[in-house]
Structure 1
Amino acid sequence: MLNPGDAISLLPEPANRLDSSAVAVFSFRGFQIGYLSAERCGWIGAKIQQGQDVRAIFQAPTNDGAIIRVHLDGGTPTLPPPPPESVLSVDALYAQQADLASGFWPDYLPPDD
């Protein structure tokens, strides 16, 4: 499990038999979590192979992968600010209304369809 802001390693795989420009994505614990998309791997992989200090962090999971933030000049990537409350899910809003100290949880109000 990765948390937002966790470091990510990007390692080119020139010997990859399916795509010589493939770039593997590893968690800070050393587990491979996937590959960069075909649209980005050639460009970012070339930057890494040219010796540029490319750094990346995990931002969020998606249904078919993850969002990572990449900095191409050795700087530390940063996370964007959290989304405004209006974008938060109903469950997140529900959890924000809970008063954990008193044990109070408001009644769940499902979203209208």
Structure 2
Amino acid sequence: MSLAVVGVHHANPDKAKSNRRFEIMLSSPGEPVELCPQPNNPADPSAVAVFSMRGIQIGYLTAERCGRIGALIREGREVQAVFQASADFGAWIRVAFDGEVPVVDPTALAPEPVPMLAEGADPEAEFYPDEVWDD
């Protein structure tokens, strides 16, 4: 299962002032990440923090997912997670349960395809300039 990691623009509370976005940039697909429920979190008692393999927090699971994932962890179910990819909003991780090993989805690593123009096509054919109004 792929899960989104959000909250990357917030500062970490550690003394070193570690940067979540920078830590995501250092992370590689397949690196283990740790999921830590935070029942004392004042914003959301069901919050689940995500930490890189270097022990730096990179964010939180989304509110929609943290309740169920946190409950599984508190029940003692085995939950393994790996870093999958960075994203504009934060990052993606892969999670597996009950002894299964998470596998990075190779389609998530593929770059967005760049549309190619057909040979001889006009590159400005779909360009529509803004209308110029009289002053």
* 1:22 aligned residue: 47
C-alpha displacement of 1:64: 0.7
Segments of 4+ moved more than 3 angstroms: 87-90
- CA distance, structure 1, for counterparts of residue 107 and residue 93 of structure 2: 15
* 1:33 aligned residue: 58
TM-score by length of 2: 0.61
* 1:69 aligned residue: 94
- The DSSP-based 3-state class of the residue aligned with 2:95 is strand
- CA distance, structure 2, for counterparts of residue 36 and residue 67 of structure 1: 10
User: Any stretches of 5+ residues in structure 2 without a counterpart?
Assistant: 1-25, 115-122, 127-135
User: Any stretches of 5+ residues in structure 1 without a counterpart?
Assistant: 91-111
Aligned length, in residue pairs: 90
- The DSSP-based 3-state class of the residue aligned with 1:20 is coil
* 2:27 aligned residue: 2
C-alpha displacement of 1:80: 1.9
Could you say which structure has the larger radius of gyration? 2
C-alpha displacement of 1:56: 0.3
C-alpha displacement of 1:74: 2.2
Sequence identity percentage: 51
- CA distance, structure 2, for counterparts of residue 80 and residue 14 of structure 1: 30
- CA distance, structure 2, for counterparts of residue 44 and residue 14 of structure 1: 13
